[in-house]
């Protein structure tokens, strides 16, 4: 297992280098002069030259990239063009909020999707199977931001069970954190659980027809033990591979859901940076997000290797 982790980590290094090159290149190609964005159109030529010199814009693109990469490796992602805030500090301040929403949504998706998939697989072609399939189809069809609006209208405005907007950090109150995170996590997680339910059902139906499952039942093992100890582990192997992609989708969906619930996460920061063409902030957000996605992929590979020994290096 250690060899698997080492191989995956080494494979991430060139991938991260390619992402950094693409990120820096694309942001450098954005139209407009950063000096105009900082001092405005009314600035003098001397002011423009001073800004260019301070930001290193007079250097070739390759030189600027390697300077930026050298600082990024040391944890310095630059400074915002507009408020002189360190990009790393701004991203790290907002990232825990987005990660809380992402992983809470993933938990909802896994629990709901796995439960629905198992129920549908245990009773194929029954009303339970048809209901689970119908709900999964509806869940895939409804956009998560629209689902979030429906949840706000019902549970926040009408019933007043949960807050409609805002976020309470976990360090302030665990109960308040869970209370403020429930509706956004449901908005994201329930729509994503439809994909997991389909995967679990398909995989579980195939596993339950295997000979070792019939042998376990013939030995008199309880149905719960057969399903959760013998069948579910093998049925989750294809689900784990899908889950890493779903976490990536959840991070992207969190950027939109944060606006619905007025949560000051990475989504709010990213949209503001794009509107202002704050290039250092955009580069920092993209780079940190890619690193997090890579870490999720690494954890997925490790879990997959644990569930499927044939995937481990010999």
End-to-end CA distance of the chain: 10
Distance CA 219, CA 215 (A): 6
8-state DSSP, 226: I
Distance CA 167, CA 163 (A): 9
Show the low-confidence residues of the chain (pLDDT under 70). Answer: 1-5, 7-8, 30-38, 40-45, 47-48, 51, 55, 57, 229-230, 238, 304-314
Length of the chain, in residues: 314
Backbone φ, ψ for residue 65 (5° rounding): -65, -50
Burial class (CB in 10 A: 0-12, 13-18, 19+), 16: middle
Closest to 148 measured CA to CA, from 125, 165, 173, 169: 165
In SS3 terms, 62-92 reads as: HHHHHHHHHHHHCCCCCECCCCCCEHHHHHH
Tokens of 195: 């994909």
DSSP 2-30: HHHHHHHHHHHHHHHHHHHHHHHHHHHTS
pTM (global) more than 0.85: no
Q: What is the pLDDT of residue 103?
A: 85
Q: Which residues pair with 263 in a beta bridge?
A: none
Tokens of 307: 């569930």
Catalogue all structural domains in the chain, each as residue range(s) with its CATH number: 33-73 (no CATH), 95-276 (1.10.3720.10)
């Amino acid at each position: 297992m250690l060899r698997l982790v080492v191989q995956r980590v080494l494979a991430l290094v060139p991938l991260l280098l390619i992402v950094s090159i693409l990120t820096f290149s694309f942001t450098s190609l954005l139209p407009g002069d950063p000096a105009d964005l900082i001092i405005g159109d009314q600035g003098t030529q001397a002011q423009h030259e001073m800004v260019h010199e301070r930001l290193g814009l007079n250097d070739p693109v390759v030189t600027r990239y390697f300077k930026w990469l050298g600082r990024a490796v040391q944890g310095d992602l630059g400074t915002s063009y507009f408020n002189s805030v360190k990009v790393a500090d701004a991203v790290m301040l907002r990232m825990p909020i987005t990660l809380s929403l992402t992983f809470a949504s993933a938990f909802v998706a896994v629990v709901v999707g796995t439960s629905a998939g198992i129920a549908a697989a245990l009773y194929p072609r029954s009303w339970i199977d048809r209901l689970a399939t119908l709900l999964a189809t509806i869940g895939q069809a409804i956009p998560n931001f629209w689902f979030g609006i429906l949840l706000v209208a019902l549970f926040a405005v009408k019933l007043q069970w949960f807050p409609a907007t805002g976020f309470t950090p976990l360090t302030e109150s665990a109960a308040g954190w869970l209370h403020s995170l429930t509706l956004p996590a449901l908005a994201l997680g329930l729509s994503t659980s439809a994909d997991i339910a389909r995967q679990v059902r398909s995989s579980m139906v195939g596993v339950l027809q295997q000979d070792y499952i019939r042998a376990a039942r013939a030995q008199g093992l309880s149905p719960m033990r057969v399903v959760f100890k013998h069948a579910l582990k093998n049925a989750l192997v294809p689900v784990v591979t899908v889950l890493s992609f779903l976490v990536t989708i959840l991070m992207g969906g969190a950027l939109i859901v944060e606006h619905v619930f007025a949560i000051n996460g990475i989504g709010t920061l990213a949209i503001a940076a794009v509107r202002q063409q704050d290039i250092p902030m955009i580069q920092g957000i993209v780079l940190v997000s890619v690193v997090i996605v890579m870490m999720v992929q690494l954890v997925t590979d490790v879990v997959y290797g644990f569930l499927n020994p044939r995937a481990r290096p010999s």
